[in-house]
Amino acid sequence: MRGWGRVIVVLTAALAASVAGTAAQTPAPGACGGSQKIAYIDVQRVLARSAAGVAAREQLEREKATMQKEMDNKRNELEKLREELEKKGALLTADARRDKQEQFERKRRDAARLADDFQKELEKKESVLLQKVLQEVSGVIDRIGKDRGCYLVMEKRGAGVIYAAAEADLTDDIIRAYDQQAPKAPAAPAPAPAPAKKP
């Protein structure tokens, strides 16, 4: 997996279009307060530090590990076949050697197809998870932008911002608000009491 960056490029345009806020009547202090009406956020930082972004990455890593384990098994199987061909190939008849070679090539092609399928599946899951996080955070950005009286909230990387004052950065506020609105994970159930021993 090459990281979140490649998917963010595709999705931040939609996010940027949905986060432009209107001026609120009583802007809060900080970014967009007073005469300042433009702010920015760093979506990659939101994804890296928000609870939902971290959870999405952890879920992808677990799925990637499962796929990697299956690919390692295929690789070991291929290695055993190759060693068998090298060690016993000279002892086999021409037909048996050809059959083993064809079996090896077939398994090698199957493994390559499986690796390609896994990569595509991971990219699709990554895109779906990222899209979900970005849709959720879009509402938070909209709300905070309005609360702060912003005319415009930009995505720092996708908007091509060359200079941005730290005071205009809403990212940490967005992360805090996003984490606060996320549903809390249910507490683990208490262990069942041990059955009473009969005398």
Cα gap 80→187, rounded to integer Å: 47
pLDDT value for 184: 57
pLDDT tens for 61-104 read: 999 999 999 999 999 999 988 888 888 877 888 888 888 889 88
Domain edges within the chain: 5-181
The three-class DSSP label of residue 152 is strand
172-197: b (≥16 Cβ within 10 Å) or e: ebbbebbeeeeeeeeeeeeeeeeeee
Position 121 confidence tier, pLDDT thresholds 50, 70, 90: very high
Which residues, 6 or more positions from 195, have their beta carbon under 8 angstroms from its beta carbon? none
Position 168 confidence tier, pLDDT thresholds 50, 70, 90: confident
Neighbouring-strand partners of residue 169: 40
pLDDT value for 164: 67
